[in-house]
Amino acid sequence: MRRVPGLGKLYAAAGAQSTVEYALVGALVVIAAAGALTLLGGEITSVFSRITNTLSGAAPSAH
């Protein structure tokens, strides 16, 4: 089998391109998650507060 000169460089470039694409997708996911938490942060806090208050009222007293 004959080796094609420069083919190794092509494979290396394709691998680097995939790495950059994965990094960009990862960065987009992080930005989207941060945005969602920023927008929903107050609502999440409110839900947990209501759950805590409900559970505190339902728990028997320790006296």
> Residues 43-59: pLDDT tens digits?
989 999 999 999 988 76
Report residue 40 as tokens.
Answer: 């929903």
Report how far apart, in Å, the C-alpha atoms of 13 and of each of 2, 26, 47 are: 21, 20, 49
pLDDT in tens, 10-35: 566 677 788 889 999 999 999 999 99
**The pLDDT value given to residue 9:** 67
Measured between alpha carbons, how far is 45 from 43 in angstroms, rounded to an integer? 5
**The pLDDT value given to residue 15:** 76
Centre a 10 Å sphere on the Cβ of residue 26 and count the other Cβ atoms it contains.
10
Which candidate, 43, 41, 20, places its Cα nearest to that of 28?
20
Measured between alpha carbons, how far is 52 from 36 in angstroms, rounded to an integer? 23
